[in-house]
């Protein structure tokens, strides 16, 4: 349960903390435009997803599964597509896809493990590890891509961050199987 909260926090905070730099440097969009259309719209999508769940949310297991799969897709597309508009759109959509990961994980496990500090830990460690990967990958561009080393490093860092939603999805599936197994046994 703690790992699910950790990975949910990491998945959300990586794009939150790296969005502005990523949009400006990796996608080549001017800072003012990048902050307005990148970070601000990301935050708007984040708020929209949480508000939508608050108004109409049911079945947190299903919501978390959809959000984790969508997060993996958004991280992949935003880091691999060389078309900057498509990458920017998916960077923004990441806000919607991660919106319920951290709070949804807490909702799912609050009666079993109310230790929400793991989300804060994931929110600190995930972006830091991504920064280390970005720094190391920026030293070289091993592929003949039309990218600067900095752009290459940012894309590799963001791409490597899909490990968090993938691990969270695996943990969620384990929790789901165990939950339904226990639910059937208690019936």
**How far apart, in whole angstroms, are the C-alpha atoms of residue 166 and residue 45?**
21
pLDDT digits (tens, 9 = 90+) for 83-133: 888 888 898 899 999 999 888 888 887 656 555 567 778 888 988 999 999
Determine if the pTM surpasses 0.85.
no
**How far apart, in whole angstroms, are the C-alpha atoms of residue 162 and residue 184?**
33
């Amino acid at each position: 349960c703690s790992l699910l909260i950790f990975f949910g926090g990491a998945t959300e905070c990586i794009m939150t903390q790296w969005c502005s730099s990523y949009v400006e440097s990796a996608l080549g969009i001017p800072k003012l435009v990048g902050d307005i259309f990148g970070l601000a719209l990301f935050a708007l999508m984040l708020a929209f997803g949480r508000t939508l769940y608050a108004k109409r949310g049911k079945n947190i297991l299903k919501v978390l599964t959809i959000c984790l799969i969508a997060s993996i897709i958004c991280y992949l597309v935003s880091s691999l597509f060389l078309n900057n508009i498509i990458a920017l759109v998916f960077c923004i959509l990441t806000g919607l896809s991660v919106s319920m990961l951290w709070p949804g994980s807490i909702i799912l496990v609050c009666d079993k493990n109310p230790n929400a500090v793991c989300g804060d830990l994931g929110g600190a460690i995930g972006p830091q590890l991504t920064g280390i990967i970005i720094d190391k990958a920026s030293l070289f561009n091993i592929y003949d891509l039309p990218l600067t080393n900095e752009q290459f490093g940012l894309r590799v860092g963001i791409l490597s961050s899909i490990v968090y939603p993938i691990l969270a999805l695996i943990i969620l599936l384990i929790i789901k199987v165990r939950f339904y197994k226990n639910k059937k046994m208690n019936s």
